[in-house]
Structure 1
Amino acid sequence: MFSFFKNLNKGSTSAPAPSEPENKSKASTPAKNLPSAEPTAGRPNSWVSRLKSGLAKTRNSFTSIFAGAKVDEALFEELEAALLMADTGIEASDFLLSALRQKVNAERLNEGEAVKSALRTLLIDLLKPLEHTLVLGRAQPLVMMITGVNGAGKTTSIGKLAQHLQQHGQSVLLAAGDTFRAAAHEQLALWGERNQIKVISQQSGDPAAVIFDALNAARARKLDILMADTAGRLPTQLHLMEELKKIKRVIGKSMDGAPHEVLLVIDANTGQNALAQVKAFDDALGLTGLIVTKLDGTAKGGILAAIARQRPIPVYFIGVGEQIDDLQPFCAAEFASALLD
Structure 2
Amino acid sequence: MEFVILAVVIALVAVGAISGLVISSRKKKQLPPAAPPSAPTITAPPAEPHVGDEAETPREEPRRTIEEVGLPSAEEADSPVAVEDPVAAEAEAPAAPEIETPEPAAGRLVRLRARLARSQNSLGKGLLTLLSREHLDEDTWEEIEETLLTADVGVAPTQELVERLRERVKVLGTRTPDELRTLLREELLTLVGTDLDRAVKTESGLDTPGVVMVVGVNGTGKTTTTGKLARVLVADGRSVVLGAADTFRAAAADQLQTWGERVGARTVRGPEGGDPASIAFDAVKEGIAEGADVVLIDTAGRLHTKTGLMDELGKVKRVVEKHGPLDEILLVLDATTGQNGLVQARVFAEVVDITGIVLTKLDGTAKGGIVVAVQRELGVPVKLVGLGEGPDDLAPFEPEAFVDALIGD
TM-score, with normalisation over the residues of structure 1? 0.82
1: CA distance, partners of 2:182 / 2:112: 23
Aligned twin of 1:232: 301
Aligned twin of 1:104: 169
2: CA distance, partners of 1:64 / 1:44: 26
- Displacement of 1:279 in angstroms is 2.1
CA RMSD in angstroms, aligned pairs only: 2.3
Aligned twin of 2:118: 53
Amino acid at match of 2:359: V
Aligned twin of 2:249: 181
Amino acid at match of 1:273: N
Output aligned runs, 1:142-221, within 5 Å.
142-202=210-270, 203-221=272-290
Give the share of equivalent positions with the same residue, in percent.
Answer: 41
Output aligned runs, 1:1-341, within 5 Å.
42-43=107-108, 46-108=111-173, 110=175, 114-128=179-193, 129-138=195-204, 139=206, 140-202=208-270, 203-253=272-322, 255-257=323-325, 259-341=326-408
- Cα deviations by residue, 1:283-337 (Å, 9 ceiling, x for unpaired): 2211111111101112410011112333231221111102233211111122112
Amino acid at match of 2:200: L
CA distance 1:76–1:141, change in 2 (3 Å): same
Name whichever of 288-297 and 106-115 sits farther off. 106-115
- Unaligned stretches of 5+ residues in structure 1: 5-39
- Cα deviations by residue, 1:114-141 (Å, 9 ceiling, x for unpaired): 4453232121012124451224433421
C-alpha contact 2:120 2:405 (8 A) present in aligned 1: yes
- Cα deviations by residue, 1:175-194 (Å, 9 ceiling, x for unpaired): 11110000222211221222
- Displacement of 1:270 in angstroms is 0.7
C-alpha contact 2:247 2:274 (8 A) present in aligned 1: yes
- Cα deviations by residue, 1:195-220 (Å, 9 ceiling, x for unpaired): 22211112221100111111111111
Amino acid at match of 2:114: S
- Secondary structure in structure 2 of the residue aligned to 1:325: coil
The number of residues matched between the two structures is 303
C-alpha contact 2:336 2:361 (8 A) present in aligned 1: yes
C-alpha contact 1:147 1:230 (8 A) present in aligned 2: yes
C-alpha contact 2:218 2:302 (8 A) present in aligned 1: yes
Aligned twin of 2:65: none
- Cα deviations by residue, 1:64-121 (Å, 9 ceiling, x for unpaired): 4345453332221111110011011211111211222222234445557644532321
Structure label with greater radius of gyration: 2
- Cα deviations by residue, 1:232-276 (Å, 9 ceiling, x for unpaired): 1122211111111111111112x222x111111111101111222
- Displacement of 1:44 in angstroms is 6.9
2: CA distance, partners of 1:248 / 1:47: 34
Amino acid at match of 2:126: S
Name whichever of 324-333 and 201-210 sits farther off. 324-333
- Displacement of 1:144 in angstroms is 0.5
Name whichever of 325-334 and 144-153 sits farther off. 325-334
2: CA distance, partners of 1:69 / 1:243: 58
- Cα deviations by residue, 1:7-31 (Å, 9 ceiling, x for unpaired): xxxxxxxxxxxxxxxxxxxxxxxxx
Amino acid at match of 1:188: L
1: CA distance, partners of 2:275 / 2:364: 35
CA distance 1:149–1:109, change in 2 (3 Å): farther
Amino acid at match of 1:126: L
2: CA distance, partners of 1:190 / 1:220: 22
Amino acid at match of 1:89: G
Larger RCO (alpha carbons 8 Å, 6+ apart) = 1
- Cα deviations by residue, 1:33-83 (Å, 9 ceiling, x for unpaired): xxxxxxx8x557641111112323434433443454533322211111100
